[in-house]
Amino acid sequence: MFIDEVMITVKAGDGGNGCFAMRREKFVPRGGPSGGDGGHGGDVVMVSSPHHNTLLHFRFNPEHKAGRGRHGEGSNKTGHDGESIEIATPVGTIVYDAETGEQIHDFTVPGERFVLAHGGKGGRGNARFATATHQAPTEHEDGKPGEERRLRLKLKLLADVGLVGFPNAGKSTLISVISAAKPKIADYPFTTLEPNLGVVSANRSKDDETTFVVADIPGLIEGAHEGHGLGVQFLKHVERTRVLAHLVDVSETGRDPAHDFEVILKELKSFSPDLAKKPMLVVATKIDAAQDPERIEAVKKMARKKKMPFFQISAVTGEGVDKLKRAMAERAVPVVQDEAVTSALTSHH
């Protein structure tokens, strides 16, 4: 199951209380205050993990509590600090304060750590209050409470290429052909009920093989940005992709492929103007079943008008698929970027 939004509660550990104690030992002529400090409460730390790809585990465990600090003891013994806890979350998780809606943190790389709730400080024991003029203090402090927060977690997939288009435009079939992903495929709308991720390997040139991640986003329909169909719940996953591949079905479906193309562009723009500005490849799909060349030509004309690269493929016969993969690789993992990294490493050495 793909879960991309959950509410959780985190509670850091309370600090331990400071101790009131006076030293009374045989053969020790001068006693005095000996109350130790309380231990600090544990923190609640979130860590981005490459081994998680949904927020499902939070559904079954929405409350996370760190250990409290132990109280101070006599003989100036400080209480043990409470145990901090770590919570794993997928890369791409954004953490919001549930009360204010404020964004607290955005996990974009694996291994990132962020303290969601800080543990309370331990209270001071009465030994801390002793001075030259105040030699038998009775003051001691209680520990401070640990932070408690209600948080909303949202997951945005981190894919290089997002496949968008109407339901049944051929997105799932394409991702199953170019990667090892095995999405559910059938001839009815909304076969894909959750995004599928696939790792694709492609050669940009003879000896330059690269891999990139493709996300198959569930089919959009007119009014998706207003929540129609599967709507906005999946549009947000397209936001982080570097390039979009817009799939348009040109087979004999009774639909107008040029109209479909315009509708999806409008939906992307209505959801986020930045989405509409992303680099986009226009892909005419199912050309093996296209009997009217005019349908392909209409989409090609629109792509040319909007200065977008145009491809035509058949995922069934494999026609045009390798060319499309190379084009995706060139845009998703730019060579310039690789050269910049190489030169930076060279100059460093």
Domain shared by 189 and 299, yes or no: yes
Instruction: Give the CATH number of the domain where residue 334 resides.
Output: 3.40.50.300
The answer to whether position 349 is within a domain reads no
Domain shared by 151 and 181, yes or no: no
Domain shared by 141 and 187, yes or no: no
The per-residue pLDDT for 159 is 76
Domain shared by 38 and 181, yes or no: no
Sign of CA dihedral 296, 276, 238, 332: positive
Domains in the chain: how many in total?
Answer: 2
Domain shared by 183 and 63, yes or no: no
The answer to whether position 265 is within a domain reads yes
- Please answer whether residues 243 and 214 qualify as being in contact, where contact means their C-beta atoms are separated by less than 8 angstroms: no
Say how far apart CA 20 and CA 124 lie, in whole Å.
9
Q: Choose one of 107, 131, 155: the last residue of a domain.
A: 155
The answer to whether position 346 is within a domain reads no
The answer to whether position 15 is within a domain reads yes
Domain shared by 199 and 130, yes or no: no
The answer to whether position 348 is within a domain reads no
Q: Which of 289, 291, 344, 284 is nearest to 320 (CA)?
A: 284
Domain shared by 107 and 250, yes or no: no
* Dihedral, 289, 290, 291, 293 alpha carbons, nearest 10: -160
Domain shared by 188 and 141, yes or no: no
The answer to whether position 347 is within a domain reads no
Instruction: Give the CATH number of the domain where residue 69 resides.
Output: 2.70.210.12
Q: What is the pLDDT along the chain (349 residues), one digit of tens a residue?
A: 556 789 999 999 999 999 999 887 666 656 688 889 999 999 999 999 888 877 888 988 899 999 999 999 988 899 999 999 999 998 889 999 999 999 999 998 889 999 999 999 999 999 889 888 888 888 899 999 999 999 999 887 667 888 888 877 888 888 888 886 565 544 444 344 466 777 787 776 666 677 788 887 765 554 444 544 444 555 666 777 889 999 998 887 777 888 888 888 887 888 777 777 889 999 999 888 877 888 889 899 999 998 999 999 998 898 999 999 888 888 887 654 444 434 443 444 3
Domain shared by 179 and 103, yes or no: no
Q: Choose one of 134, 155, 176: the last residue of a domain.
A: 155
- Please answer whether residues 30 and 44 qualify as being in contact, where contact means their C-beta atoms are separated by less than 8 angstroms: no
- Domain housing 198: 161-341
How many CB atoms are closer than 10 A to CB 101?
8
43 CA to centre of own chain: 22
The answer to whether position 129 is within a domain reads yes
Domain shared by 146 and 19, yes or no: yes
Say how far apart CA 152 and CA 94 lie, in whole Å.
8
How many CB atoms are closer than 10 A to CB 333?
19
Say how far apart CA 150 and CA 277 lie, in whole Å.
35
Domain shared by 244 and 313, yes or no: yes
Domain shared by 273 and 137, yes or no: no
The answer to whether position 304 is within a domain reads yes
Q: Choose one of 88, 123, 155: the last residue of a domain.
A: 155
